[in-house]
Amino acid sequence: MADYNIQEMVQKNKNNKRTKIVEKSIPIILFLITCISILTTIGILYTLISETFIFFTRVSFIDFITDTEWNAFSSDPSWGIISLIMGTLKIVVIAILVAIPIGLGAAIYLSEYATDRTRRTIKPILEILAGIPTVVYGTFAITFVTPLIRGIFPEVNLYNAISPGVVVGIMIVPMIASLSEDAMSSVPNTTREGSLGLGATRLETVFKVIIPAAASGIISSFVLGISRAIGETMIVSIAAGSTPNASLDIRESLQTMTGFIVQVTSGDASYGTDLYYSLYAVGMTLFLFTLVMNMISQWITRRFKEEY
């Protein structure tokens, strides 16, 4: 059997003209692929900013951010974004009140109490929730959750904030549970053993050692879950109604920013009208909300990140 000199083979391969072409072209191809996402982001931002600017040449920016009445389909329309923001915030608050306790509780169990076999069984089942289409969640909210709530509280309207808020919370549970569980699992076992060795109970170890050590990942999961709730569309479109109002009453019909966008894009918004350009103004507001939440998430991750 002939002896092969590995170094000679590598050198021969390097001198191959086809290999040289491939090696030089791969970085260029990968750079172009990377640029696609960057250019897409720039294109989206350009569209939002340019069309929003046109909207504010027709509508007062001060009225847009201070007026509490939103009536885009009237012959004398009102453009007070506060009504849509309040509708969005009501859904988000209810969602996080549902999702954070359930998601964090599930993460604690999977990370600290469940056996490996139980974890391998439960975690995929929990994450199935993330794969359910949001239109199914919306149908579930209006056909099951809303009648259940109205059976307990008859004064609640058919379209309200409670039902979609609860279902949005259920939808983001897998995100919070999975990310929080990953953060807690990354805490070294020596930390747990040290706490238990000093006489702490397992529960005390979880709340006084593990959760503080994994705080950056846990809080980031909360912030990302909130961002997901802010941008939810189909659940609120189906179960929350389409009545913008700035009240704090969660029993009434409401409209979120995403709900308004769906309503207009499925209607008769003629190109060039104020109603058409209002889509971009609302979209820009929604973009700013999610951008701020993502920036907060990144800041929290950097600020409280633990190195092990």
Query: pTM for the whole thing?
Result: 0.83
Burial (CB < 10 A; 0-12, 13-18, 19+), residue 91, is: buried
Among 237, 283, 244, 277, smallest CA distance to 259 is for 237
Average pLDDT on 42-48 reads: 90
Structure confidence by residue, pLDDT tens digits, 59-107? 888 888 888 888 888 778 888 899 999 999 999 999 999 999 999 999 9
Work out the pLDDT band at 10, boundaries 50, 70, 90. Answer: low
Task: Give yes or no for residue 132 having a pLDDT over 90.
Answer: no
Query: Residue ranges per domain, the chain?
Result: 6-58, 70-304
Higher pLDDT, 151 or 3: 151
| CA distance linking residue 40 with residue 160, whole number of Å | 36
What's the CA gap between 175 and 58, in Å, rounded?
Answer: 41
Q: How confident is the model at residue 306 (pLDDT cuts 50, 70, 90)?
A: low
Q: Which CATH number fits domain 70-304: 1.10.3720.10, 1.20.1740.10, 3.20.20.100, 3.40.50.300?
A: 1.10.3720.10
pLDDT category of residue 169 using cuts at 50, 70 and 90: very high
* pLDDT tens for each residue of 189-226: 888 888 888 888 888 888 888 888 888 888 888 988 88
- Tell whether the model's pLDDT for residue 165 goes beyond 90: yes
Instruction: For residues 125 and 113, give the distance between their C-alpha atoms in angstroms, rounded to a whole number.
Output: 17
Chain center to CA of 135: 16
In eight-state DSSP terms, residue 78 is: E
